[in-house]
Chains A and B, each alone.
Chain A
């Protein structure tokens, strides 16, 4: 079992470029999450999906869109990247709706120039 996988591991973008971060899980969990982690800021929730077909905004959704393609996959899209979106992005899964253990992917390091 791979658990939670993320692609790509690293990415460098120029301001204004777009890209999609992919996340897949084989844990059969209902909930999936996207976080960003910046130095000294902790993890901040961007978007989450409580179940297939539903998505909701988290704390910092501006500049991002998400798609819950099926139970396994949850993608995060940056339509027009900005330097402020330079961060480490983590995808996570969980069995419930926030009060449960979360399992994280290895992260995507994004640099926007």
Chain B
């Protein structure tokens, strides 16, 4: 099993739809998780962090399932501006940056 695995997509959904995608991880010691957003040819930027069971910020909800070792990102009422690649990040669960793992990203395209 890859350490962090994401469905690469692309997910192509109409504006206003709800879309969700998952990120599975193998390190059961990880305590915190992050979703970053990366626009085409730009740097990644933090979207949400997940420290316990989940987090909600407006139209975005991130959930953590420790038993099955995955985190999910749900986007409600999607906007054209949500089109981007979403990266899942899993720190190692101990104080060592050498094992930060970025998923390869899920591409999301919102159509009018």
| A2 on interface, CB distance cutoff 8 Å | no
A104 shortest CB reach to chain B, Å: 4
For chain B, residues 66 to 106, give those with C-beta under 8 angstroms from any C-beta of chain A: 87, 91-93, 95-100, 102-105
Complexed CA–CA distance, A98 and B29 (Å): 14
A residues contacting the other copy or chain, number (CB 8 A): 29
Q: How many residue pairs at the A-B interface have CB separations less than 8 Å?
A: 65
Known: A41-B104, A42-B104, A99-B31. Is A106-B97 also a contact (CB below 8 A)? Answer: no
Give a binary string over A1-39; 1 marks a CB under 8 Å from any B CB, 0 the rest: 000000000000000000000000000000101010000
Complexed CA–CA distance, A94 and B32 (Å): 15
* Beta-carbon contact of B49 and A48 below 8 Å: no
Binds B, one of A50-58, A64-72, A75-83: A50-58
Interface of B is mostly: loop
The winner among B96, B98, B105 for most chain A CB atoms within 10 A is B98
Known: A105-B43, A106-B42, A107-B43. Is A48-B97 also a contact (CB below 8 A)? Answer: yes
* B34 contact set on A, CB distance < 8 A: 101
Give a binary string over B1-16; 1 marks a CB under 8 Å from any A CB, 0 the rest: 0001000100000000
Chain B residues in contact with chain A, CB under 8 A? 4, 8, 31-32, 34, 42-46, 49, 87, 91-93, 95-100, 102-105
Chain A residues in contact with chain B, CB under 8 A? 31, 33, 35, 40-45, 48, 50, 56-59, 90, 94, 96-107
Give 10 CB contacts A-B under 8 Å: A33-B97, A42-B103, A42-B105, A43-B102, A50-B97, A58-B98, A97-B96, A98-B91, A104-B45, A106-B43
